[in-house]
Structure formats: structure tokens, C-alpha cells
Amino acid sequence: MSPLVFKEPEKLYFTSDPHFGHKNIIHFCERPFESVEEMNAKLIDNWNSVIKEDDLCFILGDFSMWGKQSWDNLLSRMIGRKILILGNHDKLKNVPVERFELVTDGFLNINVIDPDTKFHEQLITLCHYAMLSWYQSHRGAWQLFGHWHNKKILAPTENNENILEANLEVSDYVKEEFIYMERIRSTQYDVGVDGNDFTPISYFDIKKIINKKLA
């Protein structure tokens, strides 16, 4: 399947892992909220503060822990157009597909027309998970993902190189992800809310971040 083409990069935003309705995520990810209600309201307010009616936001999974009626209610309060790439917590039976321009499982390749790039276009692979390789990665294509919830804050530092072995509260599964994180390329970026001020991030902001890493 050929990448979907988008000609207005200024209207493109990306996000992942809001986990609407998930009480435990506040503790797991140390989110600065006292309740699910406060978290949900802040996520929606932040969304509506940056997204305009004709903007398009790609949601890279784990949107809500609730059922279809609650999904519908949440989406009705969120401005703009939406595309959903399913995450590990998303159940298709709960998704009001009519609220999205596209709902897909696995991954999605897109082509953003951007004259200010080497090939006058930016290829991007969108997936809930970080990938080792993706479409046209050798030509500078980006890969945007979620799922990690900004876990890089727990990565080894100069003062504690053995944090993965020393931190007994970290599961073997998470340790494996930390090790994998070391292989993340400069052309990959975690668009999850936990690392982006609980707000969708624009195409141009991601471009600045990636270009800075490549410089």
C-alpha cells in the first residue's frame, strides 16, 4: 500500500497514549493529576488549545480505557480531524469509527509534502510501537511511536550506569525495553503525551527536534 499523501504539513499533529479513564496510569507514569477527571479535562483542554477545526491529528494508540459510549463522548469534545492507529489497549469494538477519518491496526505510512526537505517530501511511518526498521528508513524517513510513556527518564545515567540491574522495581519486560531504547535512531520520536506536556505535537516541532538530533 502506497503512503497516504498530505500536502499541508502545518495542519498535521501527532499524539499517543492519553489513556483516558485510566486511574492507575496517573501513578504508573507519575502524571501530575489528582484524579481521572482532572487528567481527562487537562488532556482535552490541551488538545483544543493547539488543534484547529481543519487540523488533522494522528493518534498512535491507547486512547481510552473506557467503552464505546465514553470514546464517543470524549471525541465529541475534541476539535479537529482524527486518524487512529490502534494500540495494545484499544479494542476495535469500543472505537466509534465514524469519528475518525481512518482507523488502522499495525502501522501507517504517510508522505508529507514539504519543500524544505532534501527530497521535497517527508516519509513517516506511524506505529504504536518503536520499530527497528521501517519503510524508507535508509532515505531519512521518520518513525513516530508511543507506548513507552517517556520511560527515557529512567534510562542509565553517568552517575548510575547499572540502574537497570539495581532497580528491583523495574520488571524484566521494562528492562528489555530500556535496552532496546538505546538503539533508537535520531529519526525516531516518541509522540506520547507523557513526554510532550500532555499535548499533541506538530509536524514542524517534530521536524525541529529530529533535525537538531541529526545536526
Cβ atoms of 103 and 153 within 8 Å: the answer is no
- Phi and psi at 192, nearest 5°, equal -60, 150
pLDDT surpassing 50 at residue 163: no
Mean pLDDT of all residues belonging to the chain: 88
The residue segments making up the domain with residue 72 are: 4-153+188-201
When pLDDT is averaged across residues 167-190 and rounded to a whole number, the result is: 65
User: Does the pLDDT of residue 169 top 80, yes or no?
Assistant: no
User: What amino acid is encoded at 190 in this protein?
Assistant: D
**Which cell goes with 88?**
495494545
pLDDT tens digit string along 48-61?
999 999 999 999 99
What's the whole-number mean pLDDT along residues 1-26? 95
Residue 22 belongs to a domain: yes
The enclosing domain of 141 has a CATH number of: 3.60.21.10
C-alpha cell at 18: 492519553
Look at residue 147 and tell me if it is in a domain.
yes
Can you tell me the distance from the alpha carbon of 83 to that of 13, in angstroms, rounded to the nearest whole number? 10
pLDDT at 24 over 80: yes
Q: Cα–Cα distance between 58 and 115 in angstroms, integer?
A: 22
pTM for this entry: 0.88
Q: Does the pLDDT value for residue 203 go beyond 80?
A: yes
Burial (0-12, 13-18, 19+ Cβ within 10 Å), 5: exposed
Closest C-alpha to 103, from 76, 83, 131: 83
Query: In this structure, is residue 47 part of a structural domain?
Result: yes
Q: In what order do the strands lie in the sheet with 142-145?
A: 4-6, 107-113, 121-127, 142-145, 188-190
pLDDT in tens, 64-104: 988 889 999 999 999 999 999 999 999 999 999 999 999 99
Residue 82 is assigned to a structural domain of this protein? yes
Residues 6+ apart with CB under 8 A from 2: 109
Structural domain total, the chain: 1
In a domain, 20, yes or no: yes
Residue 12 lies in a domain: yes
Confidence class for position 123, pLDDT limits 50, 70, 90: very high
Residue 57 domain-assigned (yes or no): yes
d(CA 31, CA 110): 31
Average pLDDT over residues 109-121: 95
